[in-house]
Amino acid sequence: MTTIEAPRTPVRPAPKRGVNLEKWGWIYMRVSGVVLIVLIFTHLFVNLMLGDGVKAIDFGFVGGKWADPFWQWWDVAMLWLALIHGANGMRTIVNDYTKPGTAQKLLKLALFLAAAVLIVLGTLVVFTFDPCPAGAPADLLPSFCAA
Partner 1 sequence: MSTATLEHPPAEADAIQSFTVTFLIRRFDPDVDTEPRWQDFDVEMYATDRVLDALHKIKWEQDGSLTFRRSCAHGICGSDAMRINGRNRLACKTLIKDLDISKPIYVEAIKGLPLEKDLIVDMEPFFASYREVQPFLQANTAAEPGKERVQSVAQRAIFDDTTKCILCAACTSSCPVFWTDGQYFGPAAIVNAHRFIFDSRDDEAKVRLDILNDKEGVWRCRTTFNCTEACPRGIEVTKAIAEVKQAIMRGRP
Residues 103-132 that bind partner 1 (CB under 8 A): none
- Residue 113 carries which side chain, given as an amino acid letter? L
Site for partner 1 contains 31 (CB under 8 A): no
Site for partner 1 contains 5 (CB under 8 A): no
* Least gap, CB of 108 to partner 1 (angstroms): 13
Alpha-carbon distance of 79 to 121, in angstroms, equals 10
Which sign does the torsion angle of CA 15, 20, 23, 26 carry?
negative
- Which string of x and - marks every residue 74-103 that binds partner 1 (by CB under 8 A)? ------------------x--xxx-xx---
* Least gap, CB of 29 to partner 1 (angstroms): 10
Site for partner 1 contains 18 (CB under 8 A): no
Using CB under 8 A, pick the residue from 4, 5, 10, 102 that binds partner 1: 10
99 to 13, 66, 94, 104, 138: CA distances (angstroms): 20, 44, 9, 7, 56
Collect contacts of 51-58 with beta carbons under 8 A, ≥24 apart. none
Query: Measuring CA to CA, which residue among 90, 83, 94, 87 is closest to residue 121?
Result: 83
How many residues contact partner 1, by CB under 8 A? 18
Site for partner 1 contains 11 (CB under 8 A): yes
Using CB under 8 A, pick the residue from 4, 5, 23, 38 that binds partner 1: 23
Q: What are phi and psi of 6, to 5 degrees?
A: -65, 145
Q: What residues line the site for partner 1 (CB under 8 A)?
A: 8, 10-12, 14-15, 20, 22-23, 25-27, 92, 95-97, 99-100
